Structure 1
């Protein structure tokens, strides 16, 4: 594969930026912040898409890092590359709501489908992980990831066992590991322990429930429902008859009270005979005092006797006769006076005499009335006394019936309470019996589930043993087959390092891609080498791994400020090796001019791109 053109339409700081690349050595130069790393990641994004992460990592993923500075709704680019004699145009839209990829063969104008959005169908094993650990060396990221060791093992094992690199050992191991985690995660040990606790709890509850049932049975034996109903019916009948008797006694008492009221009503006074000057409304009716006499007699005793009024009348008549005989001899004023006195005596005497006679008649009539009334009262008192004795008897009978009613009500209340208590105990026992049945059923289910889980655990143990055995066999096989690629990889890295450094040293690479230096006495960790030597060693291992993964396929080598720790001599050796022996395209992104000066000194041809033009 040879990258011929790059169109950074909208990517990071670049807007409609175009560059052409040569088929062999390419130097892309620019100072700090010129966009060298942006170009590197643009090539990576065109190959594999712009990764988008989630959560906190989303703020620093490739998609977020290289969003266009201008026109953020347009996030796209184009790459033109040549592969196996055919020219292709690859277009990608990275914008999150319009993600798309289009590959067109410019020689045939045919659209090439990319189901997974990558170019792995063109170059076998051309994955993002392999790119990042072999031909794509990002700035300060020359070290290989630990997971890449499994990729190389997979490649060697697949080729040794099947002859195909599409059968992935790492995928098989990952699948076995997922299955192992699933079995561990889905292990029923925790459920079995929880069921054991639940079974213990159910048995305790069942025993407590059984004890409560026995206690309630003992309480129910103290009661007889038929006896309680019979006593309740008896008390209800007694209350009914008692209530009827009380009603009858109350009615009789009411009748006696009404009769006594009529007997105690005041008698209508009998009016004595009156003269032509009086009427019944002119005098009030009097009753007896508390001493048994009429108060009218007291008033009569305080007036003048009737005979005295007669004397006055006679005196008036005599005075008038005398005045008639001697009026001629009496002066007129005196005569008038005597006439007035005579008239006064006659009127007073006449009125007093008439009034006295009337009062005497009324007194005689009042005495007769009082005697009749006294007789009526004596008769009424006799009847009242008889009614009183009868009413007292009725009251006593009523009080006795009320007392009997209260006793019956108390008895009825006790019966009701006892019957209600009996029903509550019976309902509680029914509820406890239902609980007992429910707990028994739950216990049976728990025991059945316990047995099922134990069977499941046994099966899972068998499956887990099978998974562990298969995983162990594959890992042992990978370790054994590592010898088939580990030594060639180490030899190739050692050869390149010896050419770069000019020293004869042998490097050892184990199955985890951990490198050590063989100094003929011991294996020394490469961490003791200088930073520059480590960078060179990592590059040598990357190139050896690329040879193992991509075989004879020509893939571009992209280096982003990889030579910062190289001295001039070793940089010259590396660039000379690239120019003479590396069969693919090399793209070097640098902030210095050493690479150009060295290539010019070696008289090597290269394509130069200045990002600051």
Structure 2
């Protein structure tokens, strides 16, 4: 991919500014505050867009910094580039109200879509993070960000390589030498997510069934409790009725005996009167005076009270017609309510037994719900299979990551050796993209090196990463990158760029890059920014 033309319609300090970019080395020269960094940011904004920050951050983000000084409603530009042998133009309007992007192929007039990923396809997958960590170096930003390590991990994950055995295990035909591990991992993650969703739905369904059965069990238990209370009530009533019937029968028998002793026409038996008289006389004779009078009177009064009560009872026994009718009820007729109670007791007992059996069945079903079903065993097997597959793929991607890091280390070491003319020949890259130099068997950290050498180390890393990560050849864009380089090292960097890169954009406020290129005999295109 090559950049051909920049058209800054309204961007930062520029209005209707056109800059032609040629193949090979391009030097965009300008004094301080001439707009070099603006051009650098414009290229990134045209390829990847420019989002406005939120809150306080919006006052210092790139959107606000490069918003046109005049006519801010016309915040826009265009960039023409070549990809795959065709010329494309992307037009962007950065205005916060009418933001849009259009992509067109100028060779055949085909209208493409940025939103649908056509621009990403033309850039061969280059994104903003990869752009900033490899081919684009901003002012005083030669160090790579932490995202470069993430880029390598993702690249390793998406690298195409796998054994026939592994391919077959994931459903790929034998002999197919290519497999996208990243997409495979994504598919496995999606399957795992779908399985977890299925398990969750099954658990929710099981929980709903449990709640329904527990509610039903509570209803049945309530019925059992009520039936038990009803059964106890009927049993108590039957017991009371039977005891009362027995007592009534006993009273009837006693009355019969008394009635046999007492004539029916007499309310008080003569023998009782004689007995009362004898008792009064004996008390009067046997008790000393004057107490005999008192005791005799008391006994007389008691006997009189007894006689009066007997006379009253006899009078009460003169029944009214309704009472006489009730007395005519036979014992067989009295048994009817008792038999009804017995029937009710039997009915309640049977209903209680059925409810108890129903409650027991529900409890058994609840116990079965607590047991691990065959479906869940199958879920566990599938989940374990997905877990093992993902672990295997992660192992493969980890191994590929190590291989790529070795390749990165080799490429970066070659570039660094070229720049330093063999002074430093081995660059060590450890976890977290921690860099150090190995010289004569001794590890040298970057903190022990000069600022210029550190920037050359990171330059070598960026160029090596670009080669390892990107299949497409992209322009190298450098914004005042060589401030700390001495002439000898800068000369070697320019020579390397001239030999290995198809297009280089150097934004600079100095003229020594042009002078060194002249000394090296490397052709370049010079554009002065004013």
Q: TM-score with structure 1 length normalisation?
A: 0.52
How far apart in 2 are the matches of 1:437 and 1:564? 92
Alignment partner of 2:508 out of 585, 590, 608: 590
Instruction: Report the alpha carbon displacement of residue 6 of structure 1 after superposing the two structures with TM.
Output: 0.8
- Contact 2:436–2:444, Cα closer than 8 Å, also in 1: yes
CA–CA distance in structure 1, aligned partners of residues 111 and 79 of structure 2: 15
Q: For 1:364-386, what per-residue CA distance to the aligned partner results, in whole angstroms no more than 9, with x for missing partners?
A: xxxxxxxxxxxxxxxxxxxxxxx
TM-score by length of 2: 0.59
1:562 Cα deviation after fit:
2.7
Bigger Cα displacement from structure 2, 482-491 vs 58-67: 58-67
1:137 maps to 2:55? no
Question: In the alignment, does 2:70 pair up with 1:70?
Answer: yes
**RMSD between aligned residues:** 4.9
User: Compared with structure 1, are the counterparts of its residues 494 and 66 closer, same or farther at alpha carbon in structure 2 (3 Å cutoff)?
Assistant: same
Q: 5 Å matches for 1:178-327?
A: 209=222, 213=226, 216-217=229-230, 221=234
Which residue number corresponds to residue 181 of structure 2? 169
- 1:234-275 CA-partner distances (Å, limit 9, x unpaired): xxxxxxxxxxxxxxxxxxxxxxxxxxxxxxxxxxxxxxxxxx
Q: Is the 8 A contact 1:199 1:447 kept in 2?
A: no
Q: CA deviation at 1:556?
A: 0.8
Q: 2:525 maps to what in 1? A: 607
Q: Measure how far apart 1:143 and its partner are.
A: 0.7
Matches for 1:388-537 after TM superposition, within 5 Å: 458-482=377-401, 484-502=403-421, 503-509=423-429, 515-519=435-439, 521=441, 529-537=449-457
Could you tell me which of 468, 472, 488 is aligned with 1:548?
A: 468
CA offsets per residue over residues 512-553 of structure 1, 9 Å max, x none?
7554544464666656545443332222122122223444x4
Question: In the alignment, which of 569, 582, 589 is matched to residue 488 of structure 2?
Answer: 569
Kindly state the Cα deviation for residue 201 of structure 1 after the two structures are TM-superposed: 8.6
Stretches of structure 2 that go unaligned for 5 or more consecutive residues are 168-174, 242-351
- Distance of aligned partners of 1:110 and 1:195 in 2 relative to their CA distance in 1, 3 Å threshold: closer
Give 1:58 deviation, angstroms: 6.8
Count of residues paired in the alignment: 402
5+ long unaligned stretches in structure 1: 228-432
Native 8 Å contact 1:156 1:484 kept in 2:
no
Structure 1 position 148 matched with structure 2 position 165:
no
Cα deviation, 1:153-203, whole Å, max 9, x if unaligned, reads: 246435999999996433443554566577679875997998999799979
Q: Deviation at 1:473?
A: 1.8
Local SS of the residue matching 2:527: strand
Cα 1:465/1:155, change in 2 over 3 Å: closer
For 1:32-181, what aligned pairs fall within 5 Å after superposition?
33-51=33-51, 63=63, 66-83=66-83, 86-95=86-95, 98-112=98-112, 116-139=116-139, 140=141, 142-144=143-145, 145=147, 146-154=149-157, 156-158=159-161, 168-176=180-188
CA–CA distance in 2 between the matches of 1:36 and 1:457?
64
> Would the aligned equivalents of 2:28 and 2:506 in 1 still touch at CA under 8 Å?
yes
**CA contact under 8 A between 1:508 and 1:517: conserved in structure 2?**
yes
- State the 1:138 CA deviation: 3.2
